[in-house]
Structure 1
Amino acid sequence: MVYEIITYKSAEKTTNSLELIALDTSTTNGLVCVMKAAAGPIPYMSWAFDWEKLKADRVIGFTGEIIVKKPYELTVPVDIITEKPEVTHIFQEPTDTEKFQFEFSVLPILCTEIYDEMFLPSEKNDAILEVGGVKLNVNRTFLSYHSDYFSALFSSNFKEGKMDEVPIKDVSYEEIGLLFSTIYPKATFPNDKTVPKLLELADRFMMPSVIHHVEYHLLNNTKINNEKLMWMADRYGMKLLLEKMIKELDSMAKAKMLKDSPDYGELSDQAKGKILDKVMVIIDLVQRGVQQNVQQDVPRPRY
């Protein structure tokens, strides 16, 4: 799964209304939640979810749980899809309360229709991969062209090359679908949420074309901070991105921010060498600027 768990904790809310009224509205990582509650002998709560901005990223629902803290602690399961975006709960134990509080932890559910279409049997597909119990029909030549991993796997030198169904372990259907969809004819394009997983998978399965797609996104459309981009560029061999990040390292303040970041310690010696060279250039420019200012301040002799 590419997406991370979305969590939220509400503050304590108070109402004496016997009818449902909105008490809490939150937006967390694109997921909007409106909590309504009714007080009284038998309290009632509902949570309406909306993720319109996430639908473009193939999010069709969420699964997880809501933990009610007040009026008393209990767990409400969450299993919502587009057609049913609301969760409700009527408290079974009578309690005269006006205070409500909750938190939730949910995981996005992604639509796999685009992946399902890719892996259907066809005249063009001549091999089967088995991922998590699911059979994926693929084209040997196409995958071998894009990946040295699959080129070796399908060769006669490996036992998998002679198998009717080749198992691929330690990867989910959603992850392999995300990876392959980046290079298939009906391509899906990287975004900031999918970039980390795509780079990890592309590196494992030796797919340089996927890394090039990711690099293009990071060069032109990303909002990821420069320190993380520097690490990604160095770790996955994205030379153009690394050059851009070093070029944008144009002040001592930025250099210090990079040095203090947790990603700096993970950089290669080669990358650190390039950064040091750039810092020396910055220091030289600063010193020249100071010297020039001093010279301008020296009074000229009168003749």
Structure 2
Amino acid sequence: MASGAIRYTSDYRVVSRDTNVLDTEENCRIKCVWSGKVNNDYQIDFTWKFDWNELKNQGVAEITGHITVSSNNNSFTPTRIDVKITEDNQEITKVVGSGYTTYTVYYEYSLTPHYALISEKPGYDKMFAPSDQNDTILVVGGKKLHVNKSFLSYHSEYFRKLFSSDYKQGDAKPPKRQRKQIPDNKDGQIEQIPIKDISFKDFALLLSTFYPNPVFPTDATVEKLLKLARRFVVSSVINIIEYHLLNNSKINSEKMLWMADEYLMPKLLEKCIRGLNTVEKAKKLDQSPEYKKLSDSAKAKALDRLIKLF
């Protein structure tokens, strides 16, 4: 699946034997470092290095499009380079020029991110299939997940209450007349428990994060998982996400600070507060939509950090 094309046009730059990096820009989460130098044949060795790791973490599989490099005085014919970027920090190179010692040049690109096609339920059929270890069935969106009560109860207070005999409230467990018994080849009868107001895809994603052979969170799934982990009281999922955000994430610091505050991730909150170490970062936080959503406690910690720093 492709999103819309991302376009960029650089300013003019003078290239000679002594130049190297000509331009560094970040546009829609694509960072490009453009370099150029006149070689011994009086041509220009151009390099474009693309960093798109943040897009990759959000599900982009590749970027395709073209780069066009031109001169301001027609010292060479505008040159188009078709590109297919599949690796982070991938370099695109091109030699252009026609015998000058210096050139005044600019470039432009049109690049289209392509998102990986993700199955609605990647491996969920196998993960939640009937087995000797599973002793109940959760029905979500009309589909069945065979699960183990003890395992879910260990990880979640919500499921401990759901599976207890005296649990009578909440949207997950219906009145007894709605609960069904179905034949099972080995155990005779297995109870089915509907889980309301959630899609099968989202619920399976949550369970798969801490089930055996877990699916690790990505920047594209962390916010949804945090909401689900809070609803179903699964602290282990929040801990897994905090580790991801601390060590692997490319999410901007303002949003990360808000998530740390909103979902009670103390290590991440401390790291984000420590990261407020320049006036520019403080202004960026103040102007962000996330700042208005911070708790008074988080705002006080940010202010205290800035007072001590400056």
Aligned-residue offset at 1:262: 0.4
Q: Is the CA contact 1:233–1:241 (under 8 Å) kept in the aligned structure 2? A: yes
Residues 228-254 of structure 1, C-alpha deviation per residue, up to 9 Å, x if partnerless? 100010000000000001011112221
The separation in 2 between residues aligned to 1:260 and 1:147, in whole angstroms, is 37
Question: For residue 133 of structure 1, what is the amino acid of its counterpart?
Answer: G
Contact 1:219 / 1:241 at 8 angstroms: preserved in 2? Answer: yes
Query: What stretches of structure 1 move > 4 A for 4+ residues in a row?
Result: 31-34, 50-53, 103-108
With normalisation by structure 1, the TM-score equals 0.59
Which stretches in structure 1 are left out of the alignment for 5+ residues?
Answer: 12-26, 35-49, 54-102, 284-303
Give the TM-score taking structure 2 as reference length: 0.58
Hey, what's the Cα distance between the residues in 2 that align with 1:243 and 1:150? 31
Asked which structure has the greater RCO (Cα within 8 Å, sep 6+), the reply is 2
Give distance in 1, aligned partners of 2:2 and 2:244. 24
Provide the identity percentage: 49
CA distance in structure 2 between the partners assigned to 1:10 and 1:220 by the alignment: 28
1:30: how far off?
Answer: 3.2
**Which residue pairs with 2:130 in the alignment?**
121
CA-atom RMSD in angstroms: 3.0
Structure 2, gaps ≥5 residues long: 8-51, 66-83, 88-111, 180-190
- Tell me, in whole angstroms, the C-alpha distance in 2 between the residues paired with 1:10 and 1:243: 35
How many residues are aligned here? 201
- State the partner residue of 2:249: 222
Partner of residue 213, structure 2: 186
1:130 and 1:168 in contact (8 A); partners too: yes
Matched, 1:110 2:116: no
- 2:20 is the alignment partner of 1:7: no
Contact 1:30 1:51 in 2 (8 A): no
Give me the whole-angstrom Cα distance separating, in 2, the residues matched to 1:275 and 1:104: 36
Separation (CA, whole Å) in 1 of partners of 2:277 and 2:6: 42
Counterparts in 2 of 1:199 and 1:117: CA distance versus 1, 3 Å: same
The structure where helix makes up a greater share of residues is 1
CA displacement at 1:188 relative to structure 2: 1.4
Deviation of residue 189 (structure 1)?
A: 1.1
Return the alpha-carbon distance in structure 2 between the equivalents of residues 10 and 270 of structure 1.
Answer: 39
Aligned residues of 1:252 and 1:282 also touching (Cα < 8 A): no
**Is structure 2 residue 301 aligned with structure 1 residue 274?**
yes
Following TM superposition, by how much is the alpha carbon of 1:158 offset from its aligned partner in structure 2, in angstroms? 2.4
